[in-house]
Every structure is written in structure tokens, then in C-alpha cells.
Structure 1
Amino acid sequence: MTAITYRHADVDGFKVFYREAGQPGAPKLLLLHGFPSASHMFRDLIPELADRFHIVAPDLPGFGQSDMPGRDRFAYTFDNIAKVIGRFTEVIGFERFAVYVFDYGAPTGFRLALEHPERITALISQNGNAYEEGLSEGWNPIRAYWQDPSQANREALRALLTDETTVWQYTHGVPNPTSVSPDGYSLDAFYLSRPGAHEIQLDLFGDYKSNVALYPAFQQYFRIHQPPLLAVWGRHDPFFLPAGAEAFKRDLPNAVVRMFDTGHFALETHAAQIGAAIVDFLTR
């Protein structure tokens, strides 16, 4: 029951790779990864949950093993990524599901909720932001690009795409960095090294401002629909501050917030603890 299979779905001609585990009749859980990763970030979490839930974890368009068409054939915006993932859920028969969102997965998953609130049974946000106070000063170089999308500001963001920065994202804020396996960041570095990948990521850095612009709409969705929400947060995240987790309670008074003594990629060190929190939350 906990075995993971590795599949591809044809989403209107777009190939989406995904991991699947659990029984089809079990409650459904969609896992959405972030930058610069792919569904492999859930390799330790899925076995913690697969005996209770039907789990699907896709690679977002342009990430991992999913199609990465050229920028002349696909506009890399969060709206377009969400449209592909929304259709993906329909193609694989995920009609009602809980969704786990992390980093880039948050604006993707929250867009799905805005489009079809009746399909979302619960939200689990792991360092997945929806509030301005959750954005740290680490966003300042990207904000500069939003305000002035010049070539100079775009070039300045290439420092965020180096192998060294990827390792830093995995290890910053982790009390014992030797507890972080090199497997995850090494695979991310491989994916980022593919021809055209850097330009795609720079496009998404620029388009991230569309996510911030949607924060009021996300918050209105929370207030109106009151989805059950669990926030599981690496408290030392250099990009998404604990204040962003606590802010969910402003619109969702029953939200459950759990802080963990780790960084941005919390599953690298706390997959078992986060898995237990999810089981407790979703089975209540």
C-alpha cells in the first residue's frame, strides 16, 4: 500500500510527471513542491502518509521530469502553471482533495482553491506564504526586479540560481547541517543546469509579484470558505517568516500552526514529525 509508482499524465499535450501512492479509494492528498525542487522533495513524506491517503505529487511545468517547453512555446507564469496543474487533477480523477503547498506550490495550490473552492477539503501549508508579513528581506533583490524589470536587475538574480545558493537554501537554519542529505540539492542543481532552465526561473522570479497581488484574494477565500488549515513551518526559513504562518489565524481562527526547528526545506529534517502532524490533522 505504501509503494510509490512513477507516472506521466498527458494534460492536453503537456506531459506531467507525478509520484503516486496509496489506495484510490482513500482520502486524496495533492502535494505541490517549490523552487528549485520537484516532487522528489516528498520522497520521505509519502511513506509516512501512504497507508492512509491516496497521494499524488506532480512536478510543476518546467520542473523535474515534467515537460520544459521553450519560453517561445509556453509562458512561464504562475497563472499558466496553475492551469496545467488544475487540468492535471481533472485528468487523473482528483475531484476532491486536500492539498499540501510549499513555496511555489502555495500560489499554485491557492489558485486552484480560488478557481474551485468546492474541490478543496483541507490545506496544509509548509512554508507556503499568503501574507505580506511572511516575506523576509531576502526578497528585496526580487522586489527590485518587480519594480524595475531591467536587464541589470534580472542579471542580479542569477546569483540565486547557483549550486552554492541551492545548497544554502537546504542547509540555512538547520541546527545540524550534516543531517541534510545531499541527494535533494544535488538533483535540484542538475535540473537547474539544463539548457534554458535559468531563463525560465528568472521569468518566474519576475512573475512572483502576481502572487503577492493575489494575497488579498487568497485571504478572502480563507475568510469566506474557512477551509481547515494546518501550517507546518521551518521557523528559520530565510524567505518565509514565521509571521506568515501565524497570519493564517487572522482569517482562519481554527488554523493549526506548528513550528519546527529547521529551515526552508523542512521535510529534509522533519518528514516524520510533519507526517505525524498531517495524519493527526486530516484524520480529526
Structure 2
Amino acid sequence: MTASNVLHHASSNPVTHYRTATVGGIEIFYREAGPSDGPVVLLLHGFPTSSHMFRNLIPLLADKYHVIAPDYPGFGHSAAPDHAAFEYSFGHYADLMDGLLQQLGVSRYAMYVMDYGAPIGYRLALKHPERVSAFIVQNGNAYEEGLKAFWDPIKAYWADNSQERREALNVLVTPETTKFQYVDGVSDVSRIDPDNWAHDQALLDRPGNRDIQFDLFRDYGTNVPLYPDFQAFFRQHKPPMIILWGKNDFIFPADGATPYLRDLPEAELHLLDTGHFALEDKLDEMVPLMRSFLGRHLDDN
């Protein structure tokens, strides 16, 4: 291959940009790639990770789509102000994501929602239902059936906001649990990059970050009363939806995947033989499904 051919081949690969915007006085880091005039796909990450979880997916969508993947405050490279001076809540996160999109001039978007990204994305959809073009749902809950045994100590904290209940959640931010979230339910662990839990744990271990996470565990309880509103949104607006769910996930088991079909019977459901972070070992299966779905629902919009 000649030098010119090498350069031509390289130039055909999407480039990811790493940017920061100030929204509501807070620095929000985001990854951005793809054509500026392409249909927008907003990637909303889960706990305890960041937009880092989408690092392999972004270039596989960005040839056709304008991909935006932010970090929430307290996660990744976004600012992490002290929890005593900043409201760490899902409602606040939705407002900040809304502000970021407005700064970027984005008025129509599909959303990939995973874990924490689901209630953030669905709150955003309630604010601006006309802006949502489609959903990719990956282990992101909107039904009480999906809150099983993993959530019992967190539910106890919702019911009793005591220091004892708060400290009982320490186990959720330990290195053992962070690794568990990546490897549990995975048949071939050799496909999981160990940099994942090393990266996430280093950020969890930052001074003050544990209190941020505990505040969010507490606030997650405010999402549950909104589940009927999320479900009503699905029924009323009928957004195109593909559900790509790691069926072996202990945190958000498949019990939370199938109820979507009650409200959106036309949704596509794919239960994958993996765990919580399905992109880590099933990217090769998920991308063709996503691209087919997006191609049918976004390319002509």
C-alpha cells in the first residue's frame, strides 16, 4: 500500500473529538464524532462508568451519524463539584444534558440509554417529546419488574435515609463490585478489557466521589414514581425502539426488558447472552442490529 493510499484509508475512518462545554456553570465533557449534518445519536452512559463505555461504538456509528456522548457531573472527565454545593440528581442531569444539546444546536436526536442513562434520557423525553427520533435501550429500566434483588439495600436506603443505610452501600463502590459489573454473566471473560474496571475505579476513588455516588443511589428512588409517566410517553408517542439487553445482568435483569413490549408492541427485543455492559463482549452482534434499526428509522427523517 502506497503512502497516499494509507492516508486515504485513514481519512475514511471517523475521527472522535474530545470537547468540553460549560452548561449551567458546570464543565461537561463529551465525545463527538460524525458528520455535523447527520442524524444525531446521543449516547447516555451508566454507573460507574462514563462516555468511555462507548469508545468502541462511536466510530462504528459515526460514518453516518452525528454521535454525542457526554459524561455526567461526577463521572468521567466532567466536573465533580462537592456534593454539599451541587445537586447530584437525575432531574438535574437531564436538565444539564438538555442544556448541552441546546448549546450544540441539536433539536432532534435518537438516544442510546443504558443503566443511569435510561431515567436521564426518559426525563429528557418528557421535557421535549417532539425531539426524540428513536431509542436504543440497553439494560436500562423503566418498569418496577426490573428492580430485583440487587436493589434491595438501595430500596432500604430510600425508605430510611440514615447514615447506617448510606454506609451499607459502600460495597457498591469497591473494586470487587466494579469488576463484577463487567464480568458477571459473561461467557468469555477474555473479551472484556480489564482497563474498564481500572478506569472506573480510579474515578470512583477520587476524594469526595463516594458521597456523589451515594447521593445518586438515594436519588434513583425519584425515578420510580416517574415510571408510569415514561410508560405513558411510550404509548402516546410510540417512539421507534430497539432493546438490546444482556439477559444475564444481575443489576438490571431481563425482567425489566420484556415489559417495554406492553407499551410498545412494535419494539424490537434482542436478549443477548451477556451481562450488564453488553457492548464489551457483544459489540460485533449489537452494531449490525443498531445500524439496521437506525437506517430504517433515522435516515429518512
TM-score class normalised by the smaller sequence: over 0.9
How far did residue 47 of structure 1 move? 1.6
| One of 242, 253, 260 as aligned partner of 2:265 | 253
CA separation in 1, counterparts of 2:83 and 2:24?
A: 18
How far did residue 272 of structure 1 move? 2.4
| Structure 1 position 82 matched with structure 2 position 82 | no
CA separation in 1, counterparts of 2:108 and 2:293?
A: 17
Matches within 5 A, 1:130-209: 130-209=142-221
Select between 23-32 and 5-14 the one with higher mean Cα deviation. Answer: 5-14
| Structure 1 position 56 matched with structure 2 position 68 | yes
Contact 1:9 1:92 in 2 (8 A): no
How far did residue 143 of structure 1 move? 0.6
Match of 1:267 in 2: 279
> Once the two structures are superposed, what CA deviation does each residue of 1:34-84 show, in whole Å capped at 9, x if it has no partner?
000000000111121111211000001111100111112211111111111
Counting matched residue pairs gives 284
| SS of 1:129 mapped into structure 2 | coil
| Structure 1 position 43 matched with structure 2 position 61 | no
CA separation in 1, counterparts of 2:64 and 2:291?
A: 8
Runs of 4+ in structure 1 off by over 2 angstroms are none
Q: Which amino acid aligns with 2:126?
A: L
When normalised by structure 2's length, the TM-score is 0.93
Identity %: 51
| SS of 1:186 mapped into structure 2 | helix
Select between 175-184 and 152-161 the one with higher mean Cα deviation. Answer: 175-184
Match of 1:99 in 2: 111
Contact 1:17 1:66 in 2 (8 A): yes
CA separation in 2, counterparts of 1:283 and 1:178?
A: 32
Contact 1:49 1:279 in 2 (8 A): yes
| Structure 1 position 115 matched with structure 2 position 127 | yes
CA separation in 1, counterparts of 2:164 and 2:85?
A: 25
| Structure 1 position 34 matched with structure 2 position 39 | no
Contact 1:133 1:241 in 2 (8 A): no
CA separation in 2, counterparts of 1:180 and 1:189?
A: 16
CA separation in 1, counterparts of 2:253 and 2:226?
A: 19
When normalised by structure 1's length, the TM-score is 0.98
CA separation in 2, counterparts of 1:275 and 1:16?
A: 27
CA separation in 2, counterparts of 1:87 and 1:37?
A: 22
| SS of 1:128 mapped into structure 2 | coil
Match of 2:5 in 1: none
CA separation in 2, counterparts of 1:203 and 1:276?
A: 37
Quick check: which has more Rg, 1 or 2? 2
| SS of 1:209 mapped into structure 2 | helix
How far did residue 157 of structure 1 move? 0.2
| SS of 1:5 mapped into structure 2 | strand
CA separation in 2, counterparts of 1:53 and 1:195?
A: 37
Match of 1:280 in 2: 292
| Structure 1 position 236 matched with structure 2 position 244 | no
> Once the two structures are superposed, what CA deviation does each residue of 1:225-248 show, in whole Å capped at 9, x if it has no partner?
110011100010001121211111
Q: Which amino acid aligns with 2:266?
A: N
Gaps of 5+ in 1: none
| SS of 1:178 mapped into structure 2 | helix
Q: Which amino acid aligns with 1:167?
A: K
